[in-house]
Amino acid sequence: MSSAVVNGLAGAGGGIIAQIITYPLQTVNTRQQTERSAKKKKAGSGGSDASTLFQMLQLVQTEGWGGLYSGLKPSLIGTAASQGIYYYFYQLLKNKVEDVAAARGKKGLGDGTVGMFSWLVIAAVAGSINVLLTIPIWVLVTRMQTHTQAERKVIESKRELLLKEISRANPMDAHILKDRLAKLDSEKPRPYGTLQAIREVYRESGISGFWKGLIPTLIMVCNPSIQFMIYETLSKRLKSKRSGKRFPKKNITAMEVFLIGAMAKLGATLVTYPLLVVKSRLQAKQEIGRNAASRYTGTLDAILKMIRYE
């Protein structure tokens, strides 16, 4: 098999393993990103946000262990597809660019190696292809991860309206309203699977709904671009430092790959995290409560409302 196919299969396999291990954290992270929290009037006012560990325990207590793995099946399909597509095209483009660089080096036009800007472009092109092909899967995953949260918001909104009606109603009507309130309090979020998510997205926005959050996601292509630029640069420097030592042909170890990859991903995530929040907000269910500040018409609208209200 070609190196591109091998890289694609390795990327898909590694991505699935990583997804299974980290999925509970991703579920809580997505819920944190989509949770609306009004900005504080004064510095230090209000309680601090609950820790991630506390939220995980709370989720298990209210929804069981299955709550931590909401949307896992489509997520694994999405991970295998996106990682496979990304690494396949990344390696394919990398091979071609390295061949061009080597040919230029033989002609005396450079040192025969690929520069940082080229790594950036390669990763960006591979990432864009990946996004365009797989974003519908991630829209469904985000919906499934945040469904219970959205349902609770709807129930809370209905409860507030009922309490206001009870306070203004006469004793006879208040008794009926209290029965409705008791029934509402006993309601639990409905089971929510992939097919329900597909139907809901299509009912709300049609086919275009499966590409919600496309603009911030495409901009976020710079995340793996930055990641691979840092990774390839660090890897190249490590190899060049060893070239004059006792073991000139020794490759970098798996642990070194892990550490360099972690550093590269950390740097890329810090830079692009705000866009990730915007993407999650757009892909999550929009009808949360009756407050217009909670609904977004597009990327710019989401950014402006989040800054204004939060």
- The 10s digit of each residue's pLDDT in 227-274 is 878 888 888 888 877 766 555 556 778 888 889 989 998 988 888 888
Percent of the chain's residues with pLDDT above 70: 87
CB 289 within 8 A of CB 156: yes
Cβ partners under 8 Å of residue 239, min gap 6? 252
Any idea where the domains of the chain sit in the sequence?
A: 213-309
Residue 43, pLDDT above cutoff 50:
no
Structure tokens at 255: 């642990």
DSSP 23-64: HHHHHHHHHHHH---PPPSSTT-SPPPPPHHHHHHHHHHHH-
- The 10s digit of each residue's pLDDT in 6-42 is 877 887 888 888 888 888 888 888 888 777 766 655 4
Structure tokens at 158: 């209905």
**CA neighbor of 142 nearest in space, from 55, 216, 31, 65:** 31
Residue 289, pLDDT above cutoff 60:
no
How confident is the model at residue 287, as a pLDDT?
Answer: 56
CB 34 within 8 A of CB 281: yes
Identity at 163, one-letter amino acid code: L
- The 10s digit of each residue's pLDDT in 159-213 is 778 777 777 777 777 777 777 777 777 766 666 778 888 888 888 888 988 988 8
Residue 303, pLDDT above cutoff 60:
yes
Measured distance CA(31)–CA(49) in Å, rounded: 13
How confident is the model at residue 68, as a pLDDT?
Answer: 82
DSSP conformation class of 209: G
**CA neighbor of 24 nearest in space, from 48, 49, 51, 53:** 53
- The 10s digit of each residue's pLDDT in 69-117 is 877 888 888 888 888 888 888 888 888 888 888 888 887 777 777 777 7
**CA neighbor of 156 nearest in space, from 293, 51, 292, 290:** 290
Residue 302, pLDDT above cutoff 80:
yes
